[in-house]
Amino acid sequence: MYKSPSRLPEEARSAVAQTLNARLADGLDLHSQIKVAHWNIKGPQFAALHPLFETFAVSLANHNDSIAERAVTLGGRAYGTARHVAERSRLPEYPQETSRDLEHVVLLAERIELYLDGARESRALGEEHGDTDTVDLLTGIVTELEKHAWFLRASLE
Ligand SMILES: [Fe+2]
């Protein structure tokens, strides 16, 4: 572990940095899957969903960056190559032959919900270790991605 401006003990910083890396792997994987949906979507809902998926991707890219930088701030490292992410992400692979608009909506909703499970687990671990700042970061992310999951689920009703 590197030196850190955080006052948390090294054991806590190490545990939190590790869980943040798990979220980084999921988040980078999810980002690539959202872009695949953004590029390949076809159907009557194209005009609404193509730009909506892009807003999800842009917001997630920022969250991934914040998560990586939090891990390093705590004295850890940030792991994020495509090969590393492919081994560790909890998301299933995206069926890249999908084209129909609402099929993409279902696939992305499922994957955002899986991402959220991980974010809540990491937040609970941050709480256990008294890392209010990581908890705060993850709460912001959970709130926004729950909203995105709602957008998708609402499109299916
Ligand atoms: Fe684009």
pTM exceeds 0.95, yes or no? yes
Q: Per DSSP, what are the bridge partners of residue 42? A: 100
CA of 41 to the centre of ligand 1 (A): 11
CA of 138 to the centre of ligand 1 (A): 27
Each of the 157 residues of the chain gets a pLDDT tens digit; together they read: 889 999 999 999 999 999 999 999 999 999 999 999 999 999 999 999 999 999 999 999 999 999 999 999 999 999 999 999 999 999 999 999 999 999 999 999 999 999 999 999 999 999 999 999 999 999 999 999 999 999 999 999 9
CA of 59 to the centre of ligand 1 (A): 14
**% helix, strand, coil for the chain, step of 5:** 75, 0, 25
Note the pLDDT of residue 1.
87
CA of 9 to the centre of ligand 1 (A): 43
